Structures are given as C-alpha cells and as structure tokens.
Amino acid sequence: MTTPNEPLIGIQARIEELHNTITEKEEQIKMRTRKLAVNLKEEISPENIIRTHPGKAAGAAFLAGLLLTRTLRGHRSTSIRVEHTQHPAPSHNFSTQSKTALSTIGFEVLRSVKDIGFTYLQRYLEKKIR
C-alpha cells in the first residue's frame, strides 16, 4: 500500500529536478550571451573593420574629414569681397576668430584621421605582401 506522503515526495522531487534543469539552462544562456558579446565586440571593432575593408575605411575617413572641414569652414563664395574701411564690431571679430580656430581644428582632425587610415592601410598591405 502507498502512504499518503508518497505523492508529495514525488512532487517535491520533480520540483527540485525542474529547478536544477532551469539553473543549468540559465547558466548555458549566460555563457552563450557572454560569447556572443565577445564575438560582436571583435566584429564591430574599428580595427577589425579597417583590416577587412582598408580601401573603404580610407575613403570613409577622407570623406568624413572633407565634410567636417567643409562644415567648419563654411561655404566660401568665389566672388571677390570688398573690404570696408571701418573696423568690424568685436563680436564679428570673435566670430571670425572662432571660425578660424574651428577650421584649424578641422584640418588637424582630418590630418590625424588620414594618418591613422594610411597607417592601417600600410600595415594591411605589408601583411598581404609577406
């Protein structure tokens, strides 16, 4: 004969078994998630993108620098400007100075990006040749 406690013990054993299964699955999911995060970081890293597509990276860096410089310098007219004999207002002078500073910064950023791009391109080509 079965005692009244046997079904209760079977249910508790089943609950414990399910709890262990859930814990194992949770650990597997965490491990896969960590592995996926590492793989994504490796694939999306700028160094990896430049190594796999050096030409496109150099072109994109050049285009970004060109657009940045164009934006910072503003659109210049090709027509000759007539200079006024009066001194410009101090706020206009500050605006011109800030535009010049931003333009200089833009050129430096462009030069730096270009140097980095060409350095990666050079390393890539050296590795391919060897």
Distance separating alpha carbons of residues 65 and 59, to the nearest angstrom: 10
Same domain assignment for residues 6 and 35: yes
Query: What's the domain range around 124?
Result: 53-74+91-130
Give the per-residue pLDDT at 17. Answer: 93
**Number of domains the chain contains:** 2
Residues counted in the chain: 130
How much is the average pLDDT of 81-91?
A: 49
Same domain assignment for residues 23 and 57: no
Start-end of H helices in the chain: 6-44, 46-52, 54-73, 90-129
Distance separating alpha carbons of residues 39 and 35, to the nearest angstrom: 6
Distance separating alpha carbons of residues 83 and 26, to the nearest angstrom: 74
Distance separating alpha carbons of residues 72 and 100, to the nearest angstrom: 9
Give the per-residue pLDDT at 78. Answer: 46
Same domain assignment for residues 33 and 60: no
Query: Is pLDDT of 124 > 70?
Result: yes
Looking at the chain, the whole-number percentage of residues with pLDDT higher than 70 is 76
Burial label for 118, CB within 10 Å (0-12, 13-18, 19+), is middle
Distance separating alpha carbons of residues 13 and 10, to the nearest angstrom: 5
Query: Is pLDDT of 7 > 90?
Result: no
Within a domain: 84 = no
- pLDDT tens for each residue of 59-73: 888 888 888 888 877
Query: Is pLDDT of 82 > 70?
Result: no
Residues 53/47/123/109 CA torsion (nearest 10 deg): 90
